[in-house]
Amino acid sequence: MDFNSTVKGSLLEGFYPAGWDMEKIDRLCSCPPESVSEPQPFWNPAFTPVECTGLEEFNVKMGHEIAREIKAAKDAGKKIAFILPVGPMGMYRWAVYFLTEWNVDCKHVYCFNMDEWADAEGNTITGEASFQTAMENAFYNPLGELTVPKAQRNFATKDNLPTYPEKIAALKKEGAKLVLVYGIGRMCHIAFWEPQIGAEFESDEAWLREPYRIGVRLHPLTIEQNAITSFASRTTLIPCFANTVGPAILFSADYAIGGADGVLGRGMQWQGMSFWMTLRYGPTRHIASSFIPTIPGRLFYLRELAGPLVPDAN
């Protein structure tokens, strides 16, 4: 007796995206943990999952990867553009540490925050809960004199988000490398590009041409994920919409730095299924993160997420 054998007639019938093959997902979640790094036919040869044994190792490695990309561009005398998330967050403290230790300034760095809480019209949240405030407190301000110039920081407001494609295209034309930094949502979103959006398109190709969306409706499990991970369980504080970059920007990156750290403690976690779907499902517009392995990059993950994904007897 399980989900697939009891879902008919339940409150969850039709809740998950129609494009999700739940039997296939169950098979993926049964893969042996030791097979997690086995390349799949659709993986880019330069894509690699990187195991981390603990959260601090995870934060250090991700922060180092970001700082290394900034330093390499500086050494080469080139501009570099980042698509940045608010989550994972511990990486920013270490990126600041390495850049400060190396005395590398960020005058050549251009940043595009991938999303922001909003209402249905795309008006964005302000104050302590906003992603802009989180980025300033975690990354820009601690860098001090080495920081990214304010004119080169972009946030996903309804007026500024539509300028992303032109700005990024201009930077790439000048030889800038585009680096995507990301986490993976419970519903396998990257940024807030939610799974139900896939049903609006007749092909993956059409879906991949979408650069951004203003006031996207958030999936209920995205709200609950954030209630657990960011809002101390308080669902009532979370907006039900967001502004977000889309596949045309996300998957045009030259390199991607990813993080999966969804371990809660006491043997519990929320991200293992999403992690395996990302690695093994195969590219489909119904699962945004399924395109991640198709581009060069490193996906850092906590060991527990590989499984085995079975009930905890404790």
* pLDDT tens, residue by residue, 52-105: 999 999 999 999 999 999 999 999 999 999 999 999 999 999 999 999 999 999
Answer whether residue 11 is part of any domain: no
Answer whether residue 95 is part of any domain: yes
Q: What is residue 5's three-state secondary structure? A: helix
Answer whether residue 38 is part of any domain: no
For residues 314 and 311, give the distance between their C-alpha atoms in angstroms, rounded to a whole number.
9
What range does the domain containing 288 cover? 45-306
CATH number at residue 97: 3.40.50.1360
Q: How far lies 146's CA from each of 17, 97, 103, 110, 288, in Å? A: 44, 11, 8, 13, 34
Cα dihedral 212/217/221/226 (nearest 10): 70
DSSP string, 206-270: HHHT--EEEEEEPPHHHHHHHHHHTSTT-GGGS-SEEEEE-HHHHTT-SEEEEEE--EEETTEES
Looking at residue 312, its pLDDT comes to: 73
Looking at residue 283, its pLDDT comes to: 98
pLDDT tens profile 257-269: 999 999 998 889 9
pLDDT tens profile 16-60: 999 999 999 999 999 999 999 999 999 999 999 999 999 999 999
Looking at residue 206, its pLDDT comes to: 98
Answer whether residue 96 is part of any domain: yes
Specify whether the CB–CB gap between 59 and 90 falls below 8 A: yes
Looking at residue 37, its pLDDT comes to: 96
pLDDT at 126 over 80: yes
Answer whether residue 109 is part of any domain: yes
pLDDT band for position 272 (cuts 50, 70, 90): very high
Structure tokens at 246: 């889309």
Answer whether residue 164 is part of any domain: yes
Question: Could you give the percent of the chain with pLDDT greater than 70?
Answer: 99
Q: What is the mean pLDDT of residues 131-141?
A: 97
Whole-number average pLDDT of the chain: 97
Strands 212-217 and 153-154: what pairing? unpaired
**Number of domains the chain contains:** 1
Looking at residue 314, its pLDDT comes to: 47
Catalogue the long-range contacts made by 304-308 (C-beta closer than 8 Å, 24 or more residues apart).
Answer: 304/263, 304/269, 304/272, 305/260, 305/262, 305/263, 305/269, 305/271, 305/272, 305/275, 306/33, 306/36, 306/51, 306/272, 306/275, 307/29, 307/31, 307/32, 307/33, 307/272, 307/276, 308/32, 308/33
pTM recorded for the entire structure: 0.97
Answer whether residue 111 is part of any domain: yes
Answer whether residue 172 is part of any domain: yes
Q: Output DSSP code: residue 48.
A: E
pLDDT at 9 over 80: yes
Specify whether the CB–CB gap between 216 and 247 falls below 8 A: no
